[in-house]
A and B are shown apart, each in its own frame.
Chain A
């Protein structure tokens, strides 16, 4: 999808989805520990928006979701925005350059996005001089965090895709791919 084709409907869908996910995260998901850590839906949301909508929308959504998270959870303003902007952009570029179609792509992208955001967040906190533990416990939290986020990556992908698919403009490359598979525009079928 070209970033120029961003409609108002898509922006509204992304905004509504972001609000719901961030409040659901803060009010429910954060209070249900799994293996001693909690699932963090926000990096998955940003990654999948980038993967569906492209780098510019991914980066802008990452910034907005990060700002919302920092405001709602009273954290250092701008920190999550910075990390999520880069995560959203990277996922968008992945789509624009490779356009991966494998069924496990959301799983891998979710794991990579979570790893990147947790590591980047930790580095930023260290650079800001926040008095925090530097230990195996931190490493354990990151590894377990990535693991539990990977488990929920596929359902989250289905949810994000279902919510945004109606607002996505038609993508010429995908249309061409679909046409090949159905035989309509395939050079072989024409010959």
Chain B
């Protein structure tokens, strides 16, 4: 009797471990359109409305817990932000004059057809789920393909760039945050025209690294980093130009490439409402993305990136 119990216990354990390993191998080996990924998308479709309902019902509980942390954080930020407001107020007045001249010049040279956020048909979505571990920087939102959300669509909030859609079901989608190891965004530093790629910083998943900058690029602490509106390859997401990503915290002198550390502006730990830039069919970004995807693969990377970047940033496709 005892032997039978022991055998049964061990058999169950072995069966479950083998089943897990089979699932793991099959999932890891298949493409994103495979069966197990489809099951996951189906599950997301089913549970998204439940998660959305639970999220709304439990928002007061979440807000109550968040209130304590936010209050302490806000107090420490108050004095620093007051100083920043005084500086920025002076800059806004000066920039207003420059902006008028800039728009006049753009109009004169027919360069005023750049993509803006409004061209992307933004869809507002609520965050209904978040991964609890360090390994995945992803959130689940309550809008999916039924609302026009597609894989690779950029996601923003009122603070700046949040990430991009990596999996879309009919009533929900998974968003990989800019701190996710799979992300890379073409960006530029506010004061210079130099562009680089923003990627998560190895060793600190809550920080970013703007790298592959041209030699001699000057970056000052506190400068803002924006999306450049270009893509490095036809497969990349086409983020609108000028979306703030973060602020420069320090410059790396020792690395082979010029690179700077960037702290993300969007509070990725406390996301509530986001906007997905859907670039619906027929829109200018959609046409441009189609044009980019038809670019020939291979060739000289610099040339390809250059032409793709030029297309994206000037809006020739529209």
Partner of A76, one of B27, B66, B270: B27
Q: Which of A77, A85, A128, A141 is B134 in contact with, Cβ under 8 Å?
A: A141
Interface-facing stretch out of A55-63, A100-108, A172-180: A55-63
User: Which residues of chain B in 1-49 are interfacial with respect to chain A, using CB atoms and an 8 Å cutoff?
Assistant: 5, 8-9, 12-13, 16-17, 19-28, 36, 39-40, 43-44, 47
CA–CA, A26 and B21, complex, Å:
24
Q: Give chain B nearest CB distance to A145 CB in angstroms.
A: 8
**Contact status of A25 and B23, CB under 8 A, knowing A82-B17, A133-B202:** no
Q: Does B318 have its Cβ within 8 Å of any Cβ on chain A?
A: no
- Is the beta-carbon distance between A27 and B12 smaller than 8 angstroms? no
CB contact under 8 A between A28 and B61, given known A3-B9, A23-B51, A73-B129:
yes
Q: Measured between C-beta atoms, what is the minimum distance from A148 to chain B in Å?
A: 11
Q: When the two chains form the complex, which single residue of A2, A26, A86, A122 contacts B130, counting CB atoms closer than 8 Å? A: A26
Residues of chain A within 8 A of B9, CB atoms compared:
3, 55-56
> Measured between C-beta atoms, what is the minimum distance from A142 to chain B in Å?
8
Contact A78 B21, CB 8 Å, known A28-B58, A59-B16, A73-B140? yes
Asked if B138 and A56 sit within 8 Å, CB to CB, the answer is no
A-B contact count (CB 8 A): 160
The CA of A53 and the CA of B131, in the complex, are separated in Å by 28
B121-163 residues with Cβ-Cβ distance < 8 A to A are: 127-136, 138, 140
A115 within 8 A of B: no
Tell me, yes or no, whether B317 is within 8 Å of chain A by CB.
no
A186–B172 Cα distance when bound, in Å, is 61
B203→A85 contact, CB < 8 A? no
Q: Do A27 and B203 have beta carbons less than 8 Å apart?
A: no
Instruction: Decide: B132 and A38 in contact? CB cutoff 8 A.
Output: yes
Please state if B135 and A130 are interface contacts (CB–CB under 8 Å).
yes
Cα A85 to Cα B200 in complex, Å, equals: 32
Say yes or no: is B299 at the interface (Cβ < 8 Å to chain A).
Answer: no
Q: Cβ of B58: which chain A residues have Cβ within 8 Å of it?
A: 24, 27-28
Stretch at the interface among A10-18, A29-37, A155-163: A29-37
The reply on B269 being an interface residue by CB < 8 A is yes
User: CB < 8 Å: which of B20, B55, B66 contacts A82?
Assistant: B20
Query: Cβ of A97: which chain B residues have Cβ within 8 Å of it?
Result: none
Main secondary structure of the interface of A (DSSP, over half): helix
Does any Cβ of B come within 8 Å of A185's Cβ?
A: no
Count class of interface residues, chain B: 35 or more
Interface size bracket, A side: 35 or more
Residues of chain B contacted by A188 (CB below 8 angstroms): none
Contacts of A134 on B, CB cut-off 8 Å?
202-203
Please, which residues of chain A bring their CB within 8 A of the CB of B181?
130-133
A75–B136 CB distance below 8 A: yes
Give the residue name and chain of the B residue nearest to A128 (CB). Answer: B28
Q: Which residues of chain B are within 8 angstroms of A137 by Cβ–Cβ distance?
A: 134, 203-205
Within 8 A of A (CB), among B232-275: 269-271
Q: Which residues of chain A have C-beta atoms less than 8 A from B62's C-beta?
A: 28, 31-32
For A66, give the chain B residue with the smallest CB separation.
B20
| Given known A-B contacts A30-B130, A31-B270, A33-B69, A77 and B13 have beta carbons under 8 A apart | no
Can you give 10 contacting A-B residue pairs, CB < 8 Å?
Answer: A28-B58, A32-B62, A60-B12, A63-B16, A74-B140, A78-B19, A121-B135, A133-B181, A134-B202, A135-B202
3 closest cross-chain pairs (CB), A and B: A78-B23, A78-B24, A82-B20
